[in-house]
A and B are shown apart, each in its own frame.
Chain A
């Protein structure tokens, strides 16, 4: 069949992997597994985890189900999509950015914040907000935030 080499995002992950992703999101961000009720998790190439409809069709050639919510590479890396869609339901490890910082983040820059702003944040992946708007993901390490925004999503914001 044509296209068989394509890795498709429609394989059920082992229970252990599914548990690891859901536990991580709950522990790290306070995101309850209930959030994803009624949807399924799927695995694709490069450790990508998709959140999509419970699989109900078999025969047409499936490219992927739903949206990428995380990537596995030793740890769980939450996706921009996940944070932009569910960030308002997260309760931990959220950093509120100032306007200039949010613009720098959208541009793709790494950020350095004053230590007192990181008081209740533990090193690892963080959700970045501007006002109450979730922007995306960063990686907090040694007091600085590495920008995890994919290149295709970077944007020079003029209105914020």
Chain B
């Protein structure tokens, strides 16, 4: 049994539709999921190959490149070896997917917190290696894993930069992903040590950083450009409150609705937290609870300048 702190339950149980299902889901390991890398293969080819192996894989109705499998040996397939598939959590495929249309003719795209590169490699696939992706990470050591993954997937249209986003030189990007560093509460299903380091204090400090990151990223966005802000945590301080902060700083920011996706249950965001009511535009953002789709927890906001 995973130890779940009382303070955690007090914070989140009032927010979920089904307390028991939510708590039970945190105890269950995530199923393995992967994305077909269209720079090297395609979904039909991979389906045929895996059928030949006798490995059952389930294609997601909301994204034909996304698959889930109970088989523990996905990593020992030829397709994994050649980079034709990339092991990636389902929810982490959403930020690039939500700007799919914008990516088609994008010239400059920024993945602001890129390591280890799941989203960067997906951006490159959606852009068919056209345009330029600046894959930035504040940590130099984390850029090593980023580089390994970009090489393995054949992501040629990338430039890896190592810069604190808050000091990023002024440039203009057509699209930006801010998959912000966060308290990562939604990753409990793959990290059972999470609660041993969990504290509300760390939520507050992450929130301060995230507010700086979202406003800086908004400044780097070209007028008409689109940004996705995402986290893998439940804390409203790191999600709705961060988007609310952006709207206070830049009232002209537009929070766009997140479209419905077939076979993926998206939930409404929190509208009030600890006595504060968020800006009404925040209602266009979405949460993903782990017990709804058998995924990790996630939060998504789509912002247009």
Contacts and interface: CB of A to CB of B under 8 A. Distances in A.
B54 to A, nearest CB: 9
A134 B82 contact: yes
Interface of B is mostly: mixed
Interface in B130-165: 132, 134, 136, 140, 143, 147-148, 150-152, 154-163
A84 B157 CA distance: 16
Contacts of B77: 157-160
A31 to B, nearest CB: 14
A89 to B, nearest CB: 13
A157 B163 contact: no
Given A53-B159, A61-B163, A133-B78, 16 more contacts: A52-B156, A52-B159, A53-B156, A56-B108, A57-B132, A57-B134, A58-B169, A62-B159, A62-B160, A63-B161, A65-B158, A67-B156, A85-B40, A156-B76, A157-B77, A160-B77
Nearest to A158: B76
B3 interface: no
A39 B156 CA distance: 8
B81 A60 contact: no
A43 interface: no
A81 B151 contact: yes
B78 A85 contact: no
B52 to A, nearest CB: 9
Nearest to B155: A67
A3 interface: yes
Interface in A53-106: 53, 55-68, 81, 84-85, 102, 106
B20 interface: no
Contacts of A113: none
Contacts of A63: 140, 143, 147, 160-162
A158 B73 contact: yes
Interface of A: 3, 6, 39, 51-53, 55-68, 81, 84-85, 102, 106, 130, 133-135, 152-153, 155-160
Tell which of A64, A130, A135, A152 has the most Cβ of chain B within 10 Å. Answer: A64
A68 B78 contact: no
Interface of B: 39-40, 50, 53, 55, 73, 75-78, 80-84, 108, 132, 134, 136, 140, 143, 147-148, 150-152, 154-163, 168-169, 171
A57 B81 CA distance: 32
A66 B163 contact: no
Interface of A is mostly: mixed
A6 B162 CA distance: 12
Nearest to B75: A155
Given A56-B108, A159-B76, A66 B161 contact: no
Contacts of A60: 134, 136, 161, 163, 168-169, 171
Contacts of B143: 63
Contact of A152 (B140, B148, B150, B158): B148
Contacts of A62: 159-161
B83 A84 contact: yes
Contacts of A6: 140
Contacts of A159: 50, 53, 55, 73, 76-78
B154 A56 contact: no
Nearest to A160: B78
Contact of B159 (A57, A68, A85): A57
B152 A81 contact: yes
Nearest to A36: B156
B157 A135 contact: no
B158 A66 contact: yes
Nearest to B167: A60
B106 to A, nearest CB: 13
A140 to B, nearest CB: 21
